[in-house]
Amino acid sequence: MSNRLFGSAYINAGDESLLQREEDVSAALENRVILLSDLTEVLDTELHVVTTFDYSTRRLYEFTPFPFPDAEDQWEAFRHPDLEWEWKDADSTGRAFRGVTDIDRLTFRWNTSDTALTLGRQAIGLSTCFYLTTNDFFQPFAPEAIYREYKTGVDAINFQYYLGPLSEIDLITVAGYDSSGDFDWDESAAILRSVFSAGNYEWTIIGGKLPWRWVAAGALQGEISGFGVRAEFNVNFPEEGWEDAFGALEDDTYFQVAGGVDYRCENSLHIFVEYLYRDQGYDDYMDYLYSLMRADSIRE
């Protein structure tokens, strides 16, 4: 079992506005019950049941004229809603208590000497960078997240074929759902990944389908004179419906690239420097807000 208590407080020293409150406080208690079991010599299972109790002095965008969605009204495209239970509903305004229990992971894994097949809700991480993880397509951590012990699981099938000790080929399919919880191919993903070593570097090649787009991606990681070196990129080819699904202003091909270096000092200090460039970003901050509103209205 793992328990985590975290919170934040915000005090606005300036003038209040429609997007700000004088003060906001939020806190949460997360309880994670973990079950690991070897069913047979080649079959094992993993179960994570997470219960979260949230407290907040505000509702998101409660006083704004914009139709922003509340946090609890958002569905997660890669997680079927039937595996989540809200046993304490938040109040409509002001202070809010909310209690939720969900199945964060539920997997069955079949292992042989050179293959592995994992079925069910599982954590899938595809990035090589630490914080600006542009190739982490499924439930990525926020860049500022400090606690990274457990990555959120998604409903997926992952087949891995090991070519050698440092190389493998993976076929990953992730189920996507619409806002009503029905399976939706447009929201789903199916990608092929190859990982191999060459020239003292680990290289990754990724290609396939993501929600409403096709993607080609790559990454590398290694070390130069004691400095860790990491980089990753992806090129995206939107399909028809991309603009509506994500509230985008255009549906042109776009790319993202991230890279960084890190160095661990003898006194255990670990220094990271990373950079991210997003080709589909906006020049005006308000465009991001309009994009969020538009995507939510389309996906309802």
DSSP assignment of 179-209: TTS-B-GGG-EEEEEEEEEETTEEEEEEEEE
d(CA 170, CA 160): 4
Strands (E), 112-188: 115-122, 154-164, 167-174
Q: Are 279 and 255 in contact (CB under 8 A)?
A: yes
* β-pair partners for 276: 258
Alpha carbon distance 200, 168 (integer Å) = 16
pLDDT at 51 over 90: yes
Better-predicted residue by pLDDT, 241 or 133 = 133
Rounded to whole angstroms, the Cα distance separating 74 from 292 reads 12
Cβ(258)–Cβ(134) below 8 Å: yes
Q: Coil, strand, or helix at residue 60?
A: coil
Other CB atoms within 10 Å distance of the CB of residue 1 = 7
The mean pLDDT of 228-238, rounded to a whole number, is 96
User: Residues near 194 by Cβ (< 8 Å), separated by ≥ 6?
Assistant: 167, 168, 169, 170, 204, 205, 206
Q: Which pTM does this prediction carry? A: 0.85
Instruction: Write down how long the chain is.
Output: 300
Q: Give 63's pLDDT tier (boundaries 50, 70, 90).
A: very low
pLDDT of residue 298 exceeding 70:
no
Residue 20, pLDDT score:
53
The more confident residue out of 300 and 165 is: 165
What number is the average pLDDT over the span 33-50?
Answer: 96
| DSSP assignment of 210-242 | ETTEEEEEEEEEEEETTEEEEEEEEEEEEPTTH
For residue 113, give the 3-state DSSP assignment: coil
CB atoms closer than 10 angstroms to residue 184: 15
Q: 122 and 111 in contact (C-beta within 8 Å)?
A: no
Q: Give the tens place of pLDDT for each residue, 136-184.
A: 999 999 888 888 899 999 999 999 999 988 899 999 999 999 888 899 9
In the predicted structure, residue 297 carries a pLDDT above the cut 70: no
Average pLDDT of the residues in 120-131: 95
C-alpha distances (whole Å) from 259 to each of 111, 127, 219, 246, 255 are: 33, 11, 9, 25, 14
**Could you give the CA distance from residue 115 to residue 161 in angstroms, rounded to a whole number?**
5
Residue 285, pLDDT > 60, answer yes
CA torsion through residues 238, 188, 178, 35, sign? negative
Return the percent helix, strand and coil in the chain, to nearest 5: 10, 50, 40
Closest CA to 28 of 82, 125, 100: 100
| Percentage of the chain lying above the pLDDT 90 cut | 60
Give the C-alpha separation, 40 to 110, whole Å. Answer: 9
